[in-house]
Copies of this chain bind each other. A is one copy, B any other.
């Protein structure tokens, strides 16, 4: 962590929420509010939302649903004092699957048929692994983990479907066993890995050429472990091409009031 990140991580949640709500903070949230659950955000009109809720139910590893709003209601009382129109640092607005705009406030474009979905992300999992003494190389590189499209098909629901996206973390065999054991206890943060070992077995041609993020080196004696990744629903949304869909901007997650 840089000195600035270290300082930011000590800002109390209420203050942080206020500066996000007022549009003063529009940055990445990874190191903020340690111990609080952060989530991927997907906002869809009600006519798409039923399909998307089925998509999450059928694919809990890539899409662990931790919260779902009422139709048209911007609040998420189960996740805290949240107004989803203002409480994410930055939003991506997609029309027919294409990124049209990036904004920091949805108040002007909020609709009475919008439904918000919050999906768990891997931050809580990574914290638990680090706390257990398992070294994560991408964190030492101050980078996101290497992320790959696989040939594992998700179970479709209505227009949503497509390939599972995974993040890769290389570990020694002893740490891999520990990491599987620990991550199984975090079903809301993608749970246990979907694969380890041979990347080709899940359709990954070259570990040095991730689809997102820089490559993470795999050292001799290490095994690559592959966890389902929150990019999966974004790929599903691009494929479904709904007239409108709003998500958090990459890395700028919703910080909730609940413990991770």
Hey, which bits of chain A sit against chain B, CB under 8 A?
A: 46, 49-51, 53-54, 57-58, 65, 67-71, 78, 115, 155, 157-158, 187
A68 touches B78 (CB 8 A): no
Compute how far the CA of A19 lies from the CA of B78 in the bound complex, rounded to whole angstroms.
44
Are A50 and B46 CB-contacts (below 8 A) given A70-B158, A71-B158? yes
**Cβ contact of A50, chosen from B50, B58, B67, B157, cutoff 8 A:** B50
> Hey, which chain B residues are within 8 Å of A58, CB to CB?
68, 78
25 residue pairs A–B, Cβ–Cβ below 8 Å: A46-B50, A49-B50, A50-B50, A50-B53, A50-B71, A50-B115, A51-B70, A51-B71, A53-B53, A53-B54, A53-B57, A53-B68, A54-B68, A54-B69, A54-B70, A57-B65, A57-B67, A57-B68, A58-B68, A58-B78, A68-B157, A70-B157, A70-B158, A71-B158, A78-B155
- 8 A-B pairs closest in CB distance: A53-B53, A50-B50, A54-B68, A57-B68, A57-B65, A49-B50, A58-B78, A46-B50
Q: State the Cβ distance, A254 to closest chain B Cβ, in Å.
A: 16
How many copies of this chain? 2
Chain B residues contacting A51 (CB-CB under 8 Å) are 70-71
Task: Please name all residues of chain B whose beta carbon is closer than 8 Å to the beta carbon of A70 when the two chains form the complex.
Answer: 51, 54, 157-158
Report the bound CA distance from A49 to B69 in whole Å. Answer: 14
CA distance A143 to B67 in the complex (A): 37
| Additional A-B contact list (16), CB under 8 Å, known A54-B69, A54-B70 | A49-B50, A50-B50, A50-B53, A50-B71, A50-B115, A51-B70, A53-B53, A53-B54, A53-B57, A54-B68, A57-B67, A57-B68, A58-B68, A70-B157, A71-B158, A78-B155
In the complex, which residue of chain B has the Cβ closest to the Cβ of A57? B68
Most chain B CB atoms below 10 A, which of A53, A71, A115: A53
Q: Which residue of B lies closest to A60 (CB)?
A: B65
| Chain B residue nearest in CB terms to A53 | B53
When distances are taken between beta carbons in the complex, the residues of chain B under 8 Å from A50 are 46, 49-50, 53, 71, 115
**Nearest-CB distance from A124 to chain B (Å)?**
17
